[in-house]
Chains A and B, each alone.
Chain A
Amino acid sequence: MATTTIPGGTIGSQIGRSLPRLEARDKVSGRAEYTHNLRLPGMLHGKIFRSTIAHGRIKSIDTSAAKKMPGVFGVYTAEDVRKVIPNPYYGPAFHDQPILAMDKVRFVGEPVAVVLAADPHAAEAAVQEITAEYEELPAVYDEIEALDSKVYVHDELKPAGTFADLKHLTGRKQTNVALDFKLRRGDVEKGFEKAAHVFEHTFRTQKVLHLAFEPFVSIGDAKRDAVTIYTSSQGPSFVRTEIARLLGLPENRVRIRVPYLGGGYGSKLYIKLEALVTALSLLARRPVKISLTMEECFYQITKHPCTFRIKSGVDKEGRIIARKCEVFWNGGAYADVGPRVTQKSGFTASGPYDIENVHVDSYALYTNVTPAGALRGFGIPQLVWSYESHTDMVARALKMDPVEFRRKNILKKGAAQATGTPVNHAPLEAILERVASRLNWGKPFDKGTGPVKRGRGLAIAIKAVIAPTTSVAVLNVTADGSPILYCGTVDMGQGSDTAMAQIVGEVLNVPAESVRVVPRDTDVTPYDMGTLGSRSLFHMGHAVRIAAEECRAKIEALRKDLGEPEGSNTPVAELFKKKYGMQAGNIVGSGTYKPDYIPPQPGTGLTTNVAPFWMVAGAGAEVEVDTETGKVSVMRLINVVDCGKPVNPKIVETQISGATLMQLGFTMFEKMHIDGGQVTNASLADYKIPGIMDVPAVMENEAIDTVQPNGPFGAKGVGETATFCCGPAIANAIDDACGVRITELPLNAEAVYRAIRAQQKKPLEDE
């Protein structure tokens, strides 16, 4: 008898199996298919000439010398692009980004012209011969300056029109604010008046890069009325819709094919090189491939830097009664998905706490730097960095134990979160207690006596999954009974193909290994909103489950039709043979999933159903701080997350550990240095990412034992969850070790040493 009522029913043989990824053998033998491997007959390579200034009007572009270079097929600018795409602006929220710079350039590195050649070296050499003259304009780089600056990155806002909540911004001029999201709960000012203590702090995060090891790559193969794009994209359905719009074609004339991705982390969403290779292929009448170098990736898309002013009013019992959050997102020169980051993260900007009066203002700002988009967390890691550092600072100032302070204020089961949506399935308390217990909180801790001090800290976080979004799947059971799954979720390393095969296997009672998952191809794989925000296992998982259940029902009906006795277990292949007289036919099931959702009220951001599920995380850190050098060593890093029922426990553990190690880089050392708009460390030689030497001595990863009641087989996503808490847990541990508080990432030795010296009243001089 089923002991649970979660969608999908009893968990049998496939859910909870730690089988290796379906494509594991291809990956270890170097044979996995990536867009990089692909060459088409007659294909040309494109190399990009980029802006050297941050903001300016284009006076002239001289391509004559480049055109004369040996092996050059052609050189193209925005003028040419306009011949094939009259209105060449794209973007998911705003149609603000030109395929090649038109009239103006808005950041260093913006594509201005492209050389095509059969030999990429010939194209590269010719790019050096292009010159451009600009009328340089003042530029704005900082998000706070952008708020009141008289320098406007765009003359006029151009919302895409697909989002109702952006429509009011149409035509707005003389502003760099692309979106202002407001959440108003209670009366925050009255709350501050009533409070016994009020604390206000400002935190900042830096500009960092996804740095997927497979750099951006796309191939366009465009004919007048049909286009095929092979691309390393996390969102093939969006690419199809947007390219169709740009070309004025129906969606069925645009085909997007996506093999495995060599990493994505949010960078390969929406349009990146796809529109450019399409335009070039139309102009050249040949297939065109553009593969970026690693240096160029620093000028494609980054994470949002942010400034977060947070103010809390606390009563004399230590209860937070009012919290005001002002968050400023540095979106760079083009909006990309920044307005969505601004809004969706705004829902939880006040943290996983039960606060009567909440006021959130979250601003998406244009600046003259590389555009910013989603990076493994959709803004949440930046917010958690701030509110969990702040929470510890408040607890310490009140002389309260940081865990006790959190216990007192944490959102309890059923309580309304800041938006008004109740948190029914967000095991915050359990996670806080697990982290505290793993840290032996409350027990004696050796803090060190010499110059090396030891400390520990923790953090907790909540995220509302992005909503509402849709996934569609089709399952085809072939004549020998082997299933083929068509689903648009992109496997970029998170193991989605394997997880979806496990769901099919569970429903049809076959081994997951026997399920073939078709590589993404919009001509055959149905619609999916995108592989982002840890949404796929929940949304696509449901769609796949529904498709498989439909197939199962049809198989049972066939059994009945053929007069099979009740409870017969005749193999599916035999049923087909009986029905068609030979190995023939197939059974097709489809599933569409879109969760319930109530949009937040404009102006207040309030709703009783902001998201179908919450993502909840906690982290604990033990650190050693060398007070003579500022060097911080993370000795122990604990992550406890809620991902519902793990479909594949081994892959879940790798996701938890990999996410937190990536965040460890963003926490401890990664930073894009920008000087006059120019990234001065745009290479792996100068931009350090975590290597094998940076792994903490002890890592503990735990998915707490729970199910997500409305998830497919009790599951939900886990890709981002372990990124949330790493940063503030470490900053809180540093404070515990040596009493200094760092409010800006990264926590490198210089930052820590400066803080130690400042605390000793012997501050170091600025650079």
Chain B
Amino acid sequence: MTARTISFTLNGEAVSAEVANHHTILEVLRNEFALYGARESCGQGLCGCCTVIVNGTAVSGCLYLAAFADGAEVTTVEHLDADGRLDPVQEAFIEQGAFQCGFCTPGFILMTKQLLDRHPDPDDDQIKHYLSGNLCRCAAYPEIIKAVKSAAQKRAVAR
């Protein structure tokens, strides 16, 4: 097992970790940094529960090898309220009741942020397109769509 040291920016902080070639970023976040918001469910990059942001793009943490994160900027859901205030997307998910068990929620929230960064005023098709790679077994989809629209409005007001 070849190990290597990777250095990257994690939620705004410079960090480094010893990783083996086969370690995913998800394992490193969990085992080295006690970050559990991104979680493994399907293990195939299909459900979106493991979503993390690497260099501004949402990736499936269960498939993304940690070694590739060397030098990258990695953001997890835990960073969104770093200043003590919830992100408008998080607020909207709470207000619209856009989850039940909450296991998939961090992934939906990160993907919604990605959507709104690129399409600040998304229509239904754009919302569904962006969120089709995130699954929710409690099926809070109607509430999630409402939350995305509400978050877009909150961000528009804030700007």
- A interface with B by C-beta (< 8 Å): 18, 20-21, 23-32, 34, 36-37, 121, 211-215, 260-265, 293-295, 492-495, 650-651, 654-655, 657-658, 661-662, 683-685, 689-693, 695, 699
Contact = CB atoms under 8 A, between A and B. Distances in A.
Given A683-B42, A684-B44, A20 B94 contact: yes
A496 to B, nearest CB: 11
Nearest to B109: A28
Contacts of A693: 128, 132
A31 B105 contact: no
A29 B49 contact: no
Contacts of A212: 101, 103, 137
B98 to A, nearest CB: 9
Interface centre among B38, B86, B97, B138, by most A CB within 10 Å? B138
A206 B79 CA distance: 43
15 contacts: A20-B97, A25-B94, A27-B102, A28-B86, A29-B81, A30-B76, A31-B36, A213-B41, A213-B47, A215-B41, A263-B101, A658-B138, A658-B139, A683-B44, A689-B135
B56 interface: no
Given A213-B104, A689-B137, A29 B90 contact: yes
Given A264-B101, A695-B145, 6 more contacts: A30-B38, A36-B39, A212-B137, A684-B46, A690-B139, A692-B144
Contact of B137 (A27, A263, A695): A263
B102 A260 contact: yes
Contact of B93 (A28, A121, A263): A28
Interface of A is mostly: loop
A688 to B, nearest CB: 10
Contacts of B103: 34, 212-214, 262-263
Contacts of A658: 100, 138-140
A494 B145 CA distance: 20
A402 B116 CA distance: 47
Interface in B118-135: 127-128, 131-132, 134-135
B77 interface: yes
Contacts of B105: 27-28, 30
B49 A213 contact: yes
A149 B39 CA distance: 44
Nearest to A659: B139
Interface in B46-105: 46-47, 49, 76-78, 80-81, 86, 90, 93-95, 97, 99-105
B52 to A, nearest CB: 10
A685 B97 CA distance: 28
B43 interface: yes
A692 B76 contact: no
B100 A692 contact: no
A18 B128 CA distance: 27
Interface of B: 22, 35-39, 41-44, 46-47, 49, 76-78, 80-81, 86, 90, 93-95, 97, 99-106, 109, 127-128, 131-132, 134-145
B122 to A, nearest CB: 13
Contacts of B35: 30
A293 B43 CA distance: 7
Contacts of A27: 99, 102, 105
A25 B80 CA distance: 12
A262 B104 CA distance: 8
A24 B147 CA distance: 14
A215 B47 CA distance: 13
A37 B102 contact: no
Nearest to B87: A28
A23 B136 CA distance: 18
Contacts of B139: 657-658, 661-662, 690
B100 A654 contact: yes
Contacts of B142: 657, 695, 699
A420 to B, nearest CB: 37
Contact of B46 (A36, A654, A685): A685
A760 to B, nearest CB: 35
Contacts of A684: 42, 44, 46-47, 135
Nearest to B144: A692
A31 B37 contact: yes
Nearest to B96: A650
B102 A661 contact: no
A654 B136 CA distance: 12
Contacts of A263: 100-101, 103, 137-138
Contacts of B102: 23, 26-28, 32, 260, 262, 493
B147 to A, nearest CB: 10
Contacts of B86: 25, 28-29
Contacts of A655: 100
Contacts of B101: 212-214, 260-264, 492-493
Interface centre among A23, A24, A36, by most B CB within 10 Å? A24
B44 A29 contact: no
A270 to B, nearest CB: 20
Contacts of A651: 97
Contacts of A690: 139, 141
A654 B140 contact: yes
A655 B95 CA distance: 16
Contacts of A214: 39, 41, 101, 103
B132 A692 contact: yes
Given A661-B139, A699-B142, A29 B41 contact: no
A590 B37 CA distance: 36
Interface centre among B42, B76, B94, B95, by most A CB within 10 Å? B42
A758 B35 CA distance: 56
A658 B140 CA distance: 6
Contacts of A20: 94-95, 97
Contact of A654 (B49, B97, B104, B145): B97
A575 B133 CA distance: 56
Nearest to B100: A493
A691 B106 contact: no
A604 B141 CA distance: 44
A495 B140 CA distance: 13
Nearest to A294: B42
A495 B132 contact: no
A505 B41 CA distance: 36
Contacts of B42: 294, 683-685
B23 to A, nearest CB: 9
B39 to A, nearest CB: 6
Q: Which 7 A-B pairs rank lowest in CB-CB distance, beginning with the nearest? A: A30-B37, A493-B101, A262-B103, A27-B102, A493-B100, A661-B139, A30-B77
A699 B143 CA distance: 12
A571 to B, nearest CB: 29
Nearest to B99: A27
A493 to B, nearest CB: 3
Contacts of B95: 20
Contacts of A265: 137
A28 B77 CA distance: 8
B44 A661 contact: no
